[in-house]
Chain A
Amino acid sequence: MAMKESAFAGTDEEISNPRGLPITGNFAINPADNITGYKSFQAGSFKFHRDEYFCYVTTPTGVHTMPADAFLRALMRDVAWGFFYGTVNFDQVFGTTNYYGEVDMFMGATNEAYTAAGRDFVERFKADKLMDVFKQMVSDWTNEGYDPFAAPMETGVPWGIKNGDNDEAVSRERVTARRMVGLPGDTPVRTDANGYPVNRMFADVVQDQPEVHAEPGFEHEVSAYNLFAYLSRSDVTWNPSVCSVVKDSLFCPTSEEYILPVEHGNDRCEWFIQLTDEITWNVKDGATGRPRAIINMKAGDCCCMPADIRHQGFSAKRSMLLVWENGSPKIPELIRQGLAPDVAVEF
């Protein structure tokens, strides 16, 4: 669930376009509504507006309604993750699929009832153009005191008419260590002093530091830090950050509480290593949304999400999850050619 670099920075390879869609332009940001105070937005034939409780997506095939809290949490991840790897289903109807440079935005395209009824609708956009609209949408629709990255019990409410903003929260920079957290010149460890107190659910996580005895001249190489303490101080949920890098192998641990705000549809295998506590994953078919499995992960469990499913996690107590990604720029081309495996290991 993390990107090594901007996901909408395409590669030199041909961009996959399985639906053969043309690029759509026609973006608009409309003035604030006189009653609610919120702006409305348009990308191609998709129109977006919100009121005190709900967000609405309108296309030529219909109107889809989502609660404002669920929509904003999902929109926040789609923005923060740069459209991510594969599909970000905001719910069972609306979402985006990343083709790394271009993005399909859809209503009902991953819902077999919508597709069977011919009510699905898809348009394709340049990723950076659509991202610009999404960023302005999450900024305008997030009120003062509400943080869509935070667990619901640790933030304000998203409801009501337009009331200020929380741009500091919605424009957080994703943490991406270049080699390892804590190395000189790399991502710093989290402390009270730099604004990262220990989360209430991790008050029992020991905050000690490893003994580091580097001989003179080797201080940049002999290095260690307390990863669990680092994660206990995360101020966001379901937002992995890169903590160590072996070529394209990215350790992206994160703290999880409540519900993963999207159903993430994989386009490649993705590994989860449960570091503490417990998460339950509902797994559905990536193309149709039909249930396929329920996975219960406890501390120490290791599990791979196949490339043809979508998944959504539930964490009753804040937990630490190591999300492990392969950020190789070669993978989109392998996917386009049908050469990327659906399953990581066969035995």
Chain B
Amino acid sequence: MGQYTTDFGSIHSYKKGGVTAIDDDPKRYVFSNMFEVAAKSAPYERVAVAKNFEYVIESAKAEGESGWYTAAHDEFVIAMDGKVRVDFVKLADPDALVDPESEGAVHIEGKPEGANMGYVVLGRGHMAMLPVGSAYKFSAPETCTILIQSIDGAVTQHKWAQFCQK
């Protein structure tokens, strides 16, 4: 171990920075903290913490088991501060569950039909692909935070006024 300690932050322990305005409106910087957003949201509520045109980054509290999701494009997830398992199913008929021209993730009722693709178990800082044509669900034995690279869609929550610095 060297002389330096890396500060990762977590849903249980984080420090927020902030915007000090000199000649500007702090709201323009859309400043929030992903751990605070996850901590104050329901499990697997996918809250946007960044948005650029149609694209979003979502923060979510991973706790217990999520429902199943799919999207008509790839997505990616990073486990920020704990252990998360992701299970995958190759959808037998993906177009029946999500419009192939649509954007963003959709929630699927019940376990979808299709072949078992396997699973990954992520630790802190691990990134996994959520591939197009599959369905996926998360499970976490202990509460932690996941960050998802996706597109604004049906499951994306917008709570900017609740979480961003004003």
Contact = CB atoms under 8 A, between A and B. Distances in A.
Interface of A: 179-181, 183, 200-206, 208-215, 218, 221-229, 243-249, 251, 269, 271, 273-278, 283, 285, 290-306, 317-318, 324-326, 328, 342-347
Contacts of B134: 221
A246 to B, nearest CB: 5
B126 interface: yes
Given A224-B129, A296-B20, A326-B53, A302 B31 contact: yes
B153 to A, nearest CB: 12
Interface residues of B, number: 72
A290 B23 contact: yes
Given A293-B26, A326-B55, A210 B117 contact: no
A344 B158 CA distance: 13
A214 B117 contact: yes
Given A248-B55, A326-B52, 10 more contacts: A215-B115, A224-B129, A244-B76, A276-B9, A298-B9, A299-B15, A301-B32, A317-B6, A343-B30, A345-B160
B18 A296 contact: yes
8 contacts: A247-B151, A249-B151, A271-B50, A278-B7, A301-B32, A318-B4, A326-B55, A345-B164
Interface stretch (B33-41, B61-69, B94-102): B33-41
A210 B131 contact: no
A325 B57 CA distance: 11
B126 A225 contact: yes
Contacts of B126: 209-210, 224-228
Contacts of B78: 227
Interface of B: 1-2, 4-9, 14-24, 26-36, 49-53, 55, 57, 59, 73-76, 78, 80, 88, 90, 115-129, 131, 133-134, 145, 147, 149-151, 160-161, 164
B118 A293 contact: no
Contact of A201 (B4, B24, B50): B4
A295 B34 CA distance: 16
Given A301-B33, A345-B30, A204 B6 contact: yes
Given A251-B149, A273-B50, A302-B34, A222 B16 contact: no
A246 B55 contact: yes
A326 B73 CA distance: 16
Contacts, number: 240
Contacts of B36: 300
Contacts of B90: 218, 221
Contacts of A291: 22-23
Given A202-B6, A292-B22, A249 B149 contact: yes
A16 B21 CA distance: 32
Contacts of B125: 205-206, 226-229, 275
B52 A269 contact: yes
B124 A301 contact: no
B61 to A, nearest CB: 13
Contacts of A227: 78, 125-127
B4 A200 contact: yes
A107 to B, nearest CB: 25
Nearest to B35: A300
A247 B73 contact: yes
Which of B26, B88, B145, B151 has its CB near the most chain A CB atoms (within 10 A)? B88
A246 B6 CA distance: 29
Contacts of B53: 326, 328
Contact of A180 (B7, B50, B76, B120): B76
